[in-house]
Amino acid sequence: MSDVRVAGVGLTSFGNTPERTSRDLFGDATIEAFADSGVPRDDVEALLYGNFMGELSEHQGHQGPLMAEAAGIRAPATRYESACASSGVAIRDAVKRIRNGEEDVLLVGGAERMTNLGTAGATEALAIAADDLWEVRAGTTFPGAYALMAQAYFSEFGGEHEDLAHIAVKNHENALTNEKAQYQRAIDVDDVLEAPQVSSPLGLYDSCPISDGAAALVLTSEDYAAEHDLDAPVAITGTGQGGDRMALHDREHLARSPAAREAGEEAYAEAGIDASDVDVAEVHDCFTIAEVLAIEALDLEPIGEGISAARDGRTTADGETPINLSGGLKAKGHPVGATGASQIAEVSKLLAGTHPNSDHVADATTGVAHNAGGTVASATVHVLEVVA
């Protein structure tokens, strides 16, 4: 089974660029990824591309070959869709294919164009990742769904909005040095608590923004990297995927994420690590409560204690396990089809020492990326390690 190396990564800036198409964005991300990797485009054997709402935001299906053209490659191309975990599942498939010896070089990534829809249009488009019959038609959108999860957490384990506010403050602080982040400005706890309420207990600063952007990765086998003398010290050593019931009312727990736990356990087992080995993580914080549920599901915090992790400094940049040094979805942005690939790019750069926040984790050798779809009805987890 071949080791899977992250040979190159590329990211556009995440933000509000309604005039730019997904093909434009992905093309730019691939330029950066190929330049970073040193891999010729002609060596790419396939493109695995994540996108969620292209039919709604751009009236464009069949995006695989379109994005291959944008990337300047001639290779089979497939689009993957799993809501906000779309590029996470694309990466998982790419890792398995390289490990199995099917290919040596794959281009993987994703993009999303959202801001051209406006707030109401983007909210409606995102809502189709929930159960249309039992949730969407009843008026439930994701801010409301995550608010229910936050209320359930507070009821079961305690906590309050101020605890969540510390997560938002932390992630905005981390984004200050990330030139690709949508929001590069500091906020304080009072800003979060005094912001307009979206759905109790969540306010404006508890929520990730609507974003445009793209991310691309060049993944290779260990043998290809050695043969071509690539500078690729980071490998994806574990991959996992989990699932849960779609609608919240069908779930056993609202305050836990079994899909993320399943994915994490599988990824940890493949990599031969446990949670105590993780030095840094990028997790899917579409809302502040989502970060709490993620770090508990990944055993980075005990169940019921993740709520205090940011407030007490355990997950801050200089804490025991820094979480979302990129700024996370909260401040870096969340162009949903690109998010999973962007998390891998951020962790890879953090471990390689090329990220603006690498100084906070200078001795880190192991990182985790957690990507979730909907209210975590689907989730992927990847373990990355420095191997050379």
Q: What per-residue string of b and e applies to 52-86 under the rule 16 or more CB within 10 Å gives b?
A: bbbebbbeeeebbbbbbebbebebebebbbbbbbb
Longest CA pairwise span in the chain (Å):
57
pLDDT of res. 22: 98
CATH of the domain at 40: 3.40.47.10
> In this predicted structure, what is the pLDDT of residue 388?
79
140 domain-assigned: no
Strand 46-50 with 77-80, pairing: parallel
In this structure, is residue 161 part of a structural domain?
Answer: no
The Cα 189–Cα 176 span in angstroms is: 16
- Let me know if residue 139 belongs to a domain: no
Q: Is residue 73 part of a domain?
A: yes
Flag whether 12 is in a domain: yes
Question: What is the domain range of residue 344?
Answer: 4-118+215-386
Task: Compute φ and ψ for 279, nearest 5 degrees.
Answer: -95, -30
| In a domain? residue 106 | yes
252 is a domain residue: yes
pTM, full prediction: 0.97
* Cα–Cα distance, 9 to 108 (Å, whole number): 10
Q: Do residues 231 and 132 touch, judged by C-beta distance below 8 A? A: no
Q: Is residue 93 part of a domain?
A: yes
Token digits of residue 205: 């600063």
What are the catalytic residues?
84, 334
Residues whose CB falls within 8 Å of the CB of residue 52, separated by 6 or more in sequence, listed in order: 81, 83, 84, 86, 112, 129, 336, 337
Provide the pLDDT for residue 1: 61
pLDDT digits (tens), the chain, 388 positions: 668 999 999 999 999 999 999 999 999 999 999 999 999 999 999 999 999 999 999 999 999 999 999 999 999 999 999 999 999 999 999 999 999 999 999 999 999 999 999 999 999 999 999 999 999 999 999 999 999 999 999 999 999 999 999 999 999 999 999 999 999 999 999 999 999 999 999 999 999 999 999 999 999 999 999 999 999 999 999 999 999 999 999 999 999 999 999 999 999 999 999 999 999 999 999 999 999 999 999 999 999 999 999 999 999 999 999 999 999 999 999 999 999 999 999 999 999 999 999 999 999 999 999 999 999 999 999 999 999 7
Q: What is the 3-state secondary structure (H, E, C) of the chain?
A: CCCEEEEEEEECCCECCCCCCHHHHHHHHHHHHHHHHCCCHHHCCEEEEECCCHHHHCCCCCHHHHHHHHHCCCCCEEEECECECHHHHHHHHHHHHHHCCCCCEEEEEEEECCHHHHHHHHHHHHHCCCCCCCCHHHCCCHHHHHHHHHHHHHHHHCCCHHHHHHHHHHHHHHHCCCCCCCCCCCCCHHHHHHCCEEECCEEHHHECCCCEEEEEEEEEEHHHHHHCCCCCCEEEEEEEEEECCCCHHHCCCCCCCHHHHHHHHHHHHHHCCCHHHCCEEECCCCEHHHHHHHHHHCCCCCCCCHHHCCCCCCCCCCCCCCECCCCHHHHHCCCHHHHHHHHHHHHHHHHHCCCCCHHHHCCCCEEEEEEEECCCCEEEEEEEEECC
Number of domains making up the chain: 1
Sign of CA dihedral 145, 190, 317, 154: negative
